[in-house]
């Protein structure tokens, strides 16, 4: 069933479980993720993003994502990952994505917040949640590049002082990009 992430976020918080989030870019991955979620009897987030558009037609694939989500026996949330412009995330929403990320991490902190809040102000009245990104979550393989990309804790604190819920539903901090470091940390 195509599900609303806000309901399942509250359920997961109250019952102390996590909802898996998978980026999918072909039919085999999409079917595999939904099959696994059904076997586990667990809600799941399936997402597609800008990075996959070169290999897969988003317009065609989004129809498949939404169709399979509706047919699933478990809650399935469709998410657009790393929408780098309002035009991109608006297009994702018109093609059935019911959760969006506004990735303005390439901009300075103030502009990132302004652009993210612009998306939130547009999509909140429509019942669509928006995720923000602070710092860059990428695939750096050089320690110095990855270290430079880590979200500085003070920026996260500044966002919290601005009342994060007034700006966005979720925050994606770049600390996770540390997983891509392949060099020793002397």
CA–CA distance, 75 with 99 (Å, rounded to integer): 13
pLDDT by residue (tens digit) across 5-33? 989 989 998 999 989 999 998 999 999 99
- Examine residue 75 and state whether it is found in any structural domain, yes or no: yes
Confidence tier at 90 by pLDDT (50, 70, 90): very high
Residue 179 scores a pLDDT above 90: no
Classify 20 as helix, strand or coil. strand
- Examine residue 80 and state whether it is found in any structural domain, yes or no: yes
**Res 172: pLDDT:** 53
Residues 6+ apart with CB under 8 A from 51: 81, 82
Q: In what order do the strands lie in the sheet with 99-102?
A: 20-23, 44-49, 76-83, 99-102, 130-134, 170-173
pLDDT by residue (tens digit) across 119-160? 999 999 999 999 888 765 554 444 445 445 555 555 555 555
CA–CA distance, 162 with 35 (Å, rounded to integer): 40
- Examine residue 118 and state whether it is found in any structural domain, yes or no: no
Residue 83: give the domain boundaries: 5-102
Mean pLDDT, rounded, of the chain: 80
Instruction: Tell me how many domains the chain contains.
Output: 1
CA–CA distance, 179 with 149 (Å, rounded to integer): 12
Residue 170 scores a pLDDT above 90: no
**Res 96: pLDDT:** 94
- Examine residue 177 and state whether it is found in any structural domain, yes or no: no
* Residue 94: CATH number of its domain: 3.20.20.70
Confidence tier at 162 by pLDDT (50, 70, 90): low
**Res 183: pLDDT:** 40
Average the pLDDT over 82-99 and give the result.
Answer: 95
CA–CA distance, 98 with 78 (Å, rounded to integer): 6
Residue 81 scores a pLDDT above 80: yes
Q: 152 or 61, which is more confident?
A: 61
Average the pLDDT over 49-67 and give the result.
Answer: 87
| pTM, rounded to two decimals | 0.77
- Examine residue 115 and state whether it is found in any structural domain, yes or no: no
Residue 116 scores a pLDDT above 60: yes
C-alpha angle 76-123-172 in degrees, rounded to nearest 5 = 65
CA–CA distance, 80 with 131 (Å, rounded to integer): 10
Q: Please answer whether residues 1 and 72 qualify as being in contact, where contact means their C-beta atoms are separated by less than 8 angstroms.
A: yes
- Examine residue 78 and state whether it is found in any structural domain, yes or no: yes
- Examine residue 125 and state whether it is found in any structural domain, yes or no: no
Active site residues: 81
- Examine residue 159 and state whether it is found in any structural domain, yes or no: no
**CA-to-CA separations, 98 to 45, 162, 179, 181, in angstroms, rounded:** 10, 25, 28, 32
DSSP string of 22-36, one letter each residue: EE--SHHHHHHHHHH
């Amino acid at each position: 069933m195509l599900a609303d992430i806000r309901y399942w976020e509250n359920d997961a918080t109250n019952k102390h479980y996590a909802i898996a989030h998978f980026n999918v870019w072909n039919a085999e991955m999409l079917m595999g993720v939904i099959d696994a979620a059904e076997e586990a009897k667990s809600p799941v987030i399936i997402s597609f993003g800008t990075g996959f558009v070169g290999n897969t037609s988003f317009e065609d694939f989004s129809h498949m994502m939404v169709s399979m989500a509706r047919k699933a026996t478990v809650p399935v949330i469709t998410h657009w990952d790393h929408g780098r412009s309002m035009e991109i995330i608006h297009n994702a929403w018109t093609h059935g994505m019911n959760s969006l990320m506004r990735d303005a991490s390439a901009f300075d902190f103030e502009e990132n917040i302004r652009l993210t809040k612009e998306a939130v102000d547009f999509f909140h009245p429509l019942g669509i949640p928006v995720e923000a990104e602070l710092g860059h979550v990428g695939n750096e393989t050089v320690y110095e590049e990855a270290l430079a990309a880590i979200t500085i804790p003070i920026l996260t604190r500044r966002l919290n002082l601005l009342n994060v819920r007034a700006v966005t539903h979720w925050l994606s901090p770049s600390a996770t990009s540390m997983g891509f470091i392949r060099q020793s940390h002397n």
